[in-house]
Amino acid sequence: MPAPLPHPTTPSAHPRLLSPLDLGPFEVRNRIVMGSMHVGLEDRPGDAKKLAAYLGERARGGAGLIVTGGYSPDRTGRLTPGGAQADARTLRGHRLVTREVHEADGRVLLQLLHAGRYAFHPLSASSRSGKSPISPFRARRLTRRGVGRTVEHFAEAAQRAVAAGYDGVEIMGSEGYLLNQFLAPATNRRRDRWGRGAEGRRALPLAVAAAVREAIGEKALLSYRISLLDLVPGGQTWEETGALARGLVERGVDVLSSGIGWHEARVPTIVTSVPRAAFAENTAALRELVDVPVIASNRIHDPAVAEEVLAAGQADLVSMARPLLADPHLPRKLAEGRAAQVVACISCNQACLDKVFDGKRASCLVNPRAGHETELVLTPVAERRLRKVAVVGAGPAGLEAALAAAERGHIVTLYEATAEIGGQLRLAARIPGKEDYAQALQSWRMRLAAAGVGIRLETRPTGRDLAGFHDVIVATGVAPRVIDLPVEPGGPQVISYADLLEGRAEAGERVAIIGAGGIGVDVAEFLSAPRPSPSLDVTVWKRHWGVVEADEEHRGGVATRPVEEAPREVHLLQRKETRIGAGLGRTTGWVHRAELRHAGVIQHRGVAYRHVDARGLHILEDGEETVLEVDTVVVCAGQVSVDDLAAEVTAARKGRAPRVHVVGGADVAAELDAERAIRQAVEVVAGL
């Protein structure tokens, strides 16, 4: 068994976060909850060993309470045709999961989730017939008998979970799934006992809670994920939410976990542009209504912010799901006084939620081992096999390569041509809404220092300089692509996105952006977003997105977004005829597209670029010659790999050393992909 979490001799900077809490059936060792997050290991019973390794590592890392991804109580409620279901066959293999967590002195709940009309299959059923905006399948209306059977299925599944060794269950009543669908007037217009006013609409969640409580007994924990703010028109009012919360407690719920927003909501709730702890005040309001512990969630990624939430009395525990994906040992590091070495989650969703919504296994951009604990293993090397490793380029791929190599025990030197680490990620941190990317870079700095990596800034090593190393990892990244665009004197200033974001050039009042990929969209937001960034102020951000108090006038807590004056005129152009931003992430792309529309960014598709002269940027659009009268043209037309060093090292080497490995953008520049670059870097290091 692992050693108990250490108690540092100096006072902890997170005394509340690390303090134990009695939840009734048992005590948790700290206030850190790994909230429910589907990772793609839940769906196949054969993946139980991998799931056990994934959750077990979080338990060994010190998480106080772990909640699994959602398991449906029956076939109808599965998220996908082959989705996770808490049936006897599946849960037989989960004794391996619960044993792994318990051997690490952890506690784990199985979440029960009925998808309702969000189910991606023809068996979907809900409070009423109809199709949700995020599923192509039309849900059938549950009959009164069907509703009753659903209650029974929840109870039976909960009983099976406890028999499999789980410490209890969590009922998913948030995010727009079945129980939430019964609660909202927009999706429940029934005239029977399961509808007909607010009391009838909450009858099903209350019946499920009572049945589950009876099924699992008093020695198991019952948590309920409650929607505190639906963020959809026709959602619940706060008064209705409060009545539901009190009813749940009366029926034996031990813990209430905060949920914010339906999946179909047009207000972001978890992406990096959402301010930190943006919805903690909603949890605080819930805490005043009930006498059971409540869990705060959504964009509480920094342990310091989590500590502030607890210190302010806004919650009893804090859900940190994606942060524990990024760093499974976050609680242990806090207890050891190593908060600065916590791997920072940047809420990008690129390798986790985006993957899950594409039917793939989740991982983490800054921790590619997440979800792959049994496959991507960084084995410490024996002293006789220790190698001298040079990593050239301190972008994301180079940073993680250097760190992973040092953690294996190799002697590592990291070279960077500029005065700062970060590469393209450092540029991204300057985009409004991506300020947290800078925290990831600070985390890398601290971890590299702790691992003993030698860092040489403002240094461009030659092949001869690297001849004494056993391995050279070339992570020199990319350079902006130069396009063939004739430019006559006296016209608009033509600059690269790197010059703009680095501060070497400034944009005027009227700007054309050539290229509408991920970087082009970022630059458009950089030029059109309000200043200061709404992401840095919760009040400003809520006004920016139309988030208001959930009352009868604004059910669900949403209002029309206010009109805001854009700081400049921005044109965003692309050669393709497809929708601008179509290639962005599944869970984040819509946010960026909404921001562009809200800022009045003028979008041009199917464009051919002609030339620049004193009149402006000449383009061919819809078969006609057009001139955009702008004073600045920003080129975001892709990147090219910077990989010359690889050939230079190969030419200069003597014998078999050094071995050369090219990773990240230096290997493949198309559509910058930090998740692929970091994963590739770690895979290379694992094979050294």
Q: How far apart are CA 247 and CA 394, in angstroms?
A: 54
Under 8 Å between Cβ of 672 and 666? no
CA angle 341, 346, 350 (to 5 degrees): 125
Catalytic residue status for 177? yes
Q: Closest Cα to residue 150, out of 112, 101, 122, 104? A: 112
Please check whether residue 615 is in contact with residue 629, taking contact to mean a CB–CB distance below 8 angstroms. Answer: yes
Q: Which two tokens stand for residue 256?
A: 């209430």
> Of residues 54, 71, 118, 177, which has the active-site annotation?
177
Handedness of CA 585, 590, 595, 601 (dihedral sign): positive
Please answer whether residues 295 and 254 qualify as being in contact, where contact means their C-beta atoms are separated by less than 8 angstroms.
no
Terminus-to-terminus CA distance in the chain, angstroms?
A: 30
DSSP state of 123: T
DSSP one-letter code for 657: B
Q: Residue 545: exposed, middle, or buried by beta-carbon count in 10 A (0-12, 13-18, 19+)?
A: buried
Q: Using CA atoms, how far apart are residues 560 and 186, in angstroms rounded to an integer?
A: 17
DSSP 78-108: -SSTT--B--HHHHHTTHHHHHHHHHTT--E
Residues 6+ apart with CB under 8 A from 421: 394, 395, 399, 441, 444, 445, 455, 457
Contact 205, 181 (CB under 8 A): no
332: which 2 tokens? 């242990």
What are the structure tokens assigned to 366, written together? Answer: 């800054």
Those residues whose C-beta lies under 8 Å from the C-beta of residue 439, and which sit 6 or more positions away, are: 302, 344, 346
Which residue, chain included where needed, has tokens 């792959």? 372
The span from the CA of 480 to the CA of 499, in Å, is 10
Catalytic residue set: 177
